[in-house]
Amino acid sequence: MDKKTTLSKTDYKWIEELPPLSTGVDALTHAFSHYYTYFLGRNRHNKAFHYHYMALSFTIRDRIMERWKKTYGAYADANCKRGYYLSLEFLMGRALGNALLNLGIDKNTKESLCSLGLELEEIEAAEHDAGLGNGGLGRLAACFLDSCATLQLPVMGYGIRYEYGMFRQRIENGRQVEEPDRWLRGGYPWEFQRLEYIQRIRYGGKTEAYKDARGVLRHRWVETNDVLAIPFDTPIPGYENNTVNTLRLWKAVATDEFNLDEFNSGSYTEAVSTKNEAENITMVLYPNDASENGKELRLKQQYFLASASLQDVIRRWRVVLKGDFKDFAEKNCFQLNDTHPSCAVPELMRILMDEIFMTWDEAWSITCKTMAYTNHTLLPEALEKWPLEIFERLFPRILEIIFEINARLLAQVAFKWPGDNDRLRRMSIIEEGETKQIRMAYLAIAASFSVNGVAELHSELLKKGLFHDFYELWPEKFNNKTNGVTPRRWLCLCNPLLSDLLSKHIGKSWISDLQQIEKISHLADDPEFRKEWQNVRIENKKRLAAMVLNDCGIEFNPLAMFDVQTKRIHEYKRQLLNILHVIHLYNRIKQGDTDNWTDRCVLIGGKAAPGYAMAKLLIKFINNVADIINDDPDVGNKLKVAFLPDYRVTAMEIIAPATDLSEQISTAGKEASGTGNMKFMMNGAVTIGTLDGANIEILEEVGKENFFMFGLTAEEVEKTKANYNPEAIISESRELGQVISIIESGHFNIFEPGIFNPILDAIKSPDDPWLVAADFNSYLKAQTLAAEAYSDKERWTKMSIINSAKSGKFSTDRTIKEYNRDIWHLSQVKPKESL
Ligand code: 26Q
């Protein structure tokens, strides 16, 4: 028989006929040794755990792979509606432990490694965090993927495969030093390059109008400089359900014809080096957690993600599913993670009109039925705007489409509010002025059928403030989806001792139905259970103390209260208020005012955006204060202060289970939601917090007696700003006055005179937007109450138990169910055969 015919006749049945891989101990051991020896070529002389980690990951990955294929088979068979989560950030952290947990093979794996004389924990520690995000927004995306897979919803994540993730932070002489995060250096075993799904992304060039064969006016985008987008797929396993979803990350590479001119004219090396320009697009994650305006490369990244992902979805619709575009909107839904991917709006319009040849109305109808936008910020200065000139140069066709969207939006506004020119100016997607700018949020709102905030208060404030005009135009679009965190990573994985205790008393159902955790609340009155709870917490605190000793050289006593604030360093989050309180405690010790003292270990961690001078100065301030206090023999064990370098997902996995007091102290009305607050609460920390973001909902769940509330409300903050006089507050408050005097005396910077003046000036300024002085006294009272409560061990343990017990609402399973019920309307699809 002809060889060629045989090949083309292959029906690939042999793939279907592959027997499932065993997850038994012996099979795991065999696969592990095989990968270690043959695939990786290592032997007994290899001491680093990196290759053990690789071998184990490949072993587990094989077992994920068959489930992955079955999941996609089931999605195809069900011809179901799909959701796409478009995000510039996915802060995944480590994958191995999560895969073991969700596949339910952690026990067998441990046993298998043990038989080889190896320890799982050591191997897990060799994994580098996938830190492709700044903070809350990026980690939320990662938790959402976990919940979508666990709920068996056909949702795919689309993002960028940055070569360099969030920078690594070192502290040198108290100051932040940034180092590149080469997370891919040793190879990333969880990704699959998919060259078959490469996409072409256009930049530059110009637009042309032409008439098609039927005489219809059409547009094309020509003479572009193209870049290729290569997808890399990472599996997202659901919790013990055989579903495996996909996170698809795009990498930019040059096209072969890149700079053909130069190539032909003989300058081969120049032609090759210009390839860098294309490949730069996905080189680095921008490390700002508030928008950095005007950086052209960032906008190129944003369009790159939007265009590659949309082309990919449309390719699948046309080629694989052979879908009719009249059904497209019923079968597809895009969730925009903030405005960062909002180029997806004009890009979808472009593809539908210029490549599928739809009319404007047909394309607009599809776009408006498929786009949904989530806002994550209330700070007006953080709303994304881009100079029109950059759009014109980088994506002329996209700009034309934005103009048309805006013209139609303004026509609608003019119709509803005739003669209201000020409103037209306010609502225009194009901000007029010296440099015209595109308001990305307005573009996203105009095209989305759903606009949501991330906590009740935040969603209300959006309607009253930032987006008020749009709320008046389209009230039906606005809704709330309070954030959550996945209990798999943020309880099961990170707190095995507490997980075992919970499961022993209430069974394991809480892992995929966190509301069940409520069942432990009555056990708060059981002294026996409290003892068990305390034992778990002490062990977790020892684990954190070891990390603090190792990373900061400071000894934390596990019996002291662990008072923790970890999050990005930002003025609105008010790490300053925290450190002022620390100085107050120090002052009390120095004055001998230590009756009924509660020992405290204060831990602060977080990264400052490299260009944010004030945030960087705050890090220096915290470190200097810590140095003085920790070195003072008068202080001893009463107070310890540490700044933990390189705060990241993996650090939080140690921190949250060991925290007693969770600091959530932003100026009210500024923190959209917060999600660290939920991780701490779930693990049994009590919150000291303002009435901001999701703190309010945490307070509602636990009640005032289990929460240390303080500070001005969002409404009061706005009123106070009108005639704010911090100097008066300082002179009227003995405690704050003394704290300020100590700082002014140069006590924390004897060899660097004056360096903290900008901080003092900020506190004293009537224009301080964060009202640090205004909330100080109220914060101090709440802190005193917290210290008092902690000194009564049984009372504190009850509070701790109640906080965990009431954390059911803050699972992303609940959040995702709400997104699905109100926005996506996807059906659950189960893979056919169970393995
Ligand atoms: C935009 C343009 C250019 C460069 C950078 C950016 C940029 C990048 C990241 C702007 C903002 C971010 C991140 C924002 C963020 O993390 N917000 C947080 O989102 C959480 C999840 O909803 C909330 O819980 C937090 O309250 C919110 O601060």
Say if ligand 1 is within 6 A of residue 675 CB: yes
Q: Which of 234, 370, 675, 812 is catalytic?
A: 675
The mean pLDDT value for 192-203 works out to: 98
- Write the pLDDT tens digit of every residue in 301-315: 999 999 999 999 999
CB atoms within 10 A of CB 421: 9
Q: How many CA atoms lie within 13 A of 571 on its CB side?
A: 16
For the beta carbon of residue 191, count every other beta carbon within 10 angstroms.
21
Percentage of residues in the chain having pLDDT higher than 70: 97
Separation between Cα atoms, residue 692 and residue 225, nearest integer Å: 46
Rounded Cα–Cα distance for residues 93 and 114 (Å): 25
Q: Which helix (H) or strand (E) holds 306?
A: helix 296-315
Task: List, for residues 566-595, the tens digit of each pLDDT value.
Answer: 999 999 999 999 999 999 999 999 999 999
Using CA of residue 515, residue 521, residue 523, residue 524, what is the dihedral sign?
positive
Position 4 pLDDT exceeds 50: no
Contact 177, 171 (CB under 8 A): yes
Does residue 268 register a pLDDT over 80?
no
pTM greater than 0.75 (yes/no): yes
In degrees and rounded to multiples of 5, residue 98 shows phi and psi of -65, -40
Q: Mean pLDDT throughout 10-28?
A: 89
Calpha distance 371→145 (Å, rounded): 18
Task: Give the per-residue pLDDT at 2.
Answer: 46
**pLDDT, average across residues 449-457:** 98
pLDDT in tens, 469-506: 999 999 999 999 999 999 999 999 999 999 999 999 99
pLDDT in tens, 735-786: 999 999 999 999 999 999 999 999 999 999 999 999 999 999 999 999 999 9
- Average the pLDDT over 61-77 and give the result: 96
Instruction: Check pocket membership of 298 for ligand 1, CB cut-off 6 A.
Output: yes
Instruction: Place 18 in a pLDDT band, splitting at 50, 70 and 90.
Output: confident
Centre of ligand 1 from the C-alpha of residue 376, in Å: 6
Looking at residue 672, what is its pLDDT? 98
**CA–CA gap between residue 111 and residue 24 (Å, rounded):** 10
Indicate whether 8 pLDDT > 80: no
With DSSP H G I counted as helix, E B as strand and the rest as coil, what are the percentages for the chain, rounded to 5? 55, 15, 30
Least Cα distance to 180 among 192, 197, 162 occurs for 162
The DSSP output letter for 454 is S
| Cα radius of gyration (the chain) | 28
Q: Which residues neighbour 45 within 8 Å (Cβ) at sequence distance 6 or greater?
A: none
Q: Which atom of ligand 1 is nearest to the CA of 138?
A: 16
Considering only CA atoms, which of 129, 157, 160 is closest in space to residue 279?
160
Distance 327 CA to ligand 1 centre (A): 34
DSSP run (H or E) holding 167 = none
Cα 265 to Cα 256, 260, 261: the distances in Å are 16, 9, 6
Tell me what the mean pLDDT of segment 349-362 comes to: 97
Span 406-417, pLDDT tens digits: 999 999 999 999
Which protein residue's CA is at the shortest distance from atom 4 of ligand 1? 291
Query: In the predicted model, what is the mean pLDDT of the chain?
Result: 96
Helix, strand or coil, per DSSP, at residue 120:
helix
pLDDT at 16: 78
SS (H, E, C) 236-255: EECCCCCCEEEEEEEEEEEC
Q: Provide the pLDDT confidence category of residue 319 given band limits of 50, 70 and 90.
A: confident
CA of 377 relative to ligand 1 center, distance in Å = 7
First to last CA, the chain: 38
87, 88, 144, 289: residue to mutate for ligand 1 pocket, most atoms within 8 A of CB: 289
Stretch 170-199: mean pLDDT = 97
* Predicted confidence (pLDDT) per residue in 207-235, tens digit: 999 999 999 999 999 999 999 999 999 99
pLDDT band of residue 290 (cuts 50, 70, 90) is confident
User: Residues of the chain with pLDDT > 90: what percent?
Assistant: 92
**Going by DSSP bridges, is the β-strand pair 708-709/450-453 parallel, antiparallel, or unpaired?**
unpaired
- Ligand 1 center–CA 577 separation, angstroms: 22
Rounded-to-integer distance, Cα 454 and Cα 388, Å: 29
